[in-house]
Amino acid sequence: MRIILHTGKGGVGKTSVASSTGVELARRGYKTLVMSVDPAHSVADSFDLGRRLLAPAGTPTKIRPNLWIQEVDIQKEVGRHWKHVHGYVASLLNISGLNEILAEELAIFPGMEEVSSLMYINQYMREDTFDVILLDCAPTAESLRFISIPNTLQWYMDRIFSDKLFTLERRVAKVMRPLVNTFSPVPLPEDECFQQVKTLYENLRGIDKVLTNPEITTVRLVTTPEKMVLKETQRAFLFFCLYGMTVDAVIVNRLLPEDVQDRFFKGWKSTQERHLSTIGEFFAPVPIWKIPLFNNEILGLRELDRLGKAIYGSRDPALVYYKESPYRFGQVDGVYQLRMKLPFVETEDVDMFKHGDELVVRVGAFKRHIPLPQRMSSLEPEKARVENGDVIITFHKTEVADAAGASALPPVRPREAVQTRK
């Protein structure tokens, strides 16, 4: 199965591109689902379908041969997967003085919607329901958070909810609940709440591997040739690199066609040309696909079909167009090193420290836990340097590792010790 994410700033054309890609794939015989993860759903609108024609929430609607659409409805998802967790959080908020309705509203955390869509993806993946799932993501900032969820959740789950600890907490809560609930205004969670967290975790298990496997999942960044939009696209590119996801195309939308010669558009045309050459420098060697501005809005099957042809021509949208691994571990002259594709980064932007057998790399607000291969987990990261858009981190042997060989247990060092920031 293939999963393709479409993301970019609001209004650049994500929904139009995702929907037209769906039309193109279905025409080629792929069983395709276009799934909207953007809370401002508009997939049905781009097909010019009335919302009442959609199947009940949580079920894909077939709209033509080989083509389904689905919009994730958070209210319905709360009922299905989050009821007890939501109820518990709402009761805590209610106790803290919020009125009941507001507490219920606030108990929908940011990210629940995205986690729900990841559960669907995992389910369709396990059941092999579709050949291709196209995700119409929320504008960039939100869709980035969506990518970090499995990674973060896995990290917490592995450490906090390890099976033994989880069972223990649950048992303690069961025994203590009647007592605590008599004396304390803050209730302990019901057993169903624990069960639900566990089920959620199990439903998400493995999705991070799916998202970081370039044979399965790739990201297509949709942008327009404007400075502010490009800045956001650049940040998104860096972020996907950090999360080990593969961007296999950058799609530049709304280019003024050649035959527009009106004086009014002269300035626009030269600005677009300038930005277009910058795009080449920024994202190469990732392929760049161009879409002209159409003479009308993109609405309904006919227009989507036209857009699909403009993007892909004879290309098959399901293929992977670029798949370089974002991390490479190796040895140069006997020194272990990690190479990461992190474009637009300067040496002084990179902070890092080792934590157990993980390297934690921080660039600005982004943070990434990179599991180190066994051979490297006993070594200490020494310094980061930037070379041709790659961050190269070299590792040196510690005294313990020297004495006992590279496979010795990793010594624990204070976090600050290896930060490179001045």
Ligand X SMILES: Nc1ncnc2c1ncn2[C@@H]1O[C@H](COP(=O)(O)OP(=O)(O)O)[C@@H](O)[C@H]1O
How far is it, in rounded angstroms, from Cα 39 to Cα 144? Answer: 14
Of 2 and 14, which CB lies nearer to ligand X in the complex structure? 14
For the chain, the C-alpha Rg in angstroms (whole number) is: 24
**Candidate segments 14-22, 68-76, 179-187, 337-345, binder of ligand X by CB under 6 A:** 14-22
Asked whether position 21 contacts ligand X by CB under 6 A, the answer is: no
Site size with Mg ion, rule: CB under 5 A: 3
Q: How far is the CB of 16 from Mg ion (least distance, A)?
A: 8
Q: How far is the CB of 11 from Mg ion (least distance, A)?
A: 8
- Using CB under 5 A, pick the residue from 28, 31, 39, 42 that binds Mg ion: 42
Of 138 and 245, which CB lies nearer to ligand X in the complex structure? 138
Site size with ligand X, rule: CB under 6 A: 17
Of 13 and 150, which CB lies nearer to ligand X in the complex structure? 13
Q: What are the backbone dihedrals phi and psi of residue 239, each rounded to the nearest 5 degrees, phi first?
A: -65, -45
Q: Where are the alpha helices (DSSP H) in 335-414?
A: 374-377, 399-404
**Candidate segments 5-13, 187-195, 333-341, 363-371, binder of ligand X by CB under 6 A:** 5-13
- Using CB under 6 A, pick the residue from 61, 116, 218, 253 that binds ligand X: 253
C-alpha distances in angstroms, 330 versus 204, 327, 384, 405, 421? 31, 10, 15, 17, 24
> What is the footprint of Mg ion within residues 8-37 (CB under 5 A)?
14-15
Where does residue 239 rank: exposed (0-12), middle (13-18), buried (19+ CB within 10 A)?
buried
Of 47 and 336, which CB lies nearer to ligand X in the complex structure? 47
Asked whether position 129 contacts Mg ion by CB under 5 A, the answer is: no
Other beta carbons within 10 angstroms of residue 23's beta carbon come to: 26
Asked whether position 11 contacts ligand X by CB under 6 A, the answer is: yes
Q: Are 422 and 348 in contact (CB under 8 A)?
A: yes
Asked whether position 141 contacts ligand X by CB under 6 A, the answer is: no
Of 42 and 347, which CB lies nearer to Mg ion in the complex structure? 42
- Using CB under 6 A, pick the residue from 2, 4, 15, 218 that binds ligand X: 15
- Using CB under 6 A, pick the residue from 41, 254, 354, 368 that binds ligand X: 254
Q: Which residues pair with 387 in a beta bridge?
A: 390
Q: What share of the chain is helix, strand, coil (3-state, %, to 5)?
A: 45, 20, 30
Q: Are 250 and 323 in contact (CB under 8 A)?
A: no
Asked whether position 94 contacts Mg ion by CB under 5 A, the answer is: no
Q: Strand, helix or coil at 406?
A: coil
Residue window 194-233: x/- pattern of binding to ligand X, with contact defined by CB under 6 A:
----------------------------------------
> What is the footprint of ligand X within residues 287-306 (CB under 6 A)?
291, 293-294, 297-299
How far is it, in rounded angstroms, from Cα 168 to Cα 217? Answer: 37
Other beta carbons within 10 angstroms of residue 358's beta carbon come to: 16
Q: Return the residue nearest Mg ion (CB atom).
A: 15
Q: Where are the alpha helices (DSSP H) in 139-295?
A: 140-159, 163-183, 191-204, 207-211, 227-242, 266-283
Identify what 16 binds: ligand X, Mg ion, none; CB under 5 to 8 Å per kind.
Answer: ligand X
Residues forming the site for ligand X (CB under 6 A): 8, 10-16, 42, 253-254, 291, 293-294, 297-299
Residues forming the site for Mg ion (CB under 5 A): 14-15, 42
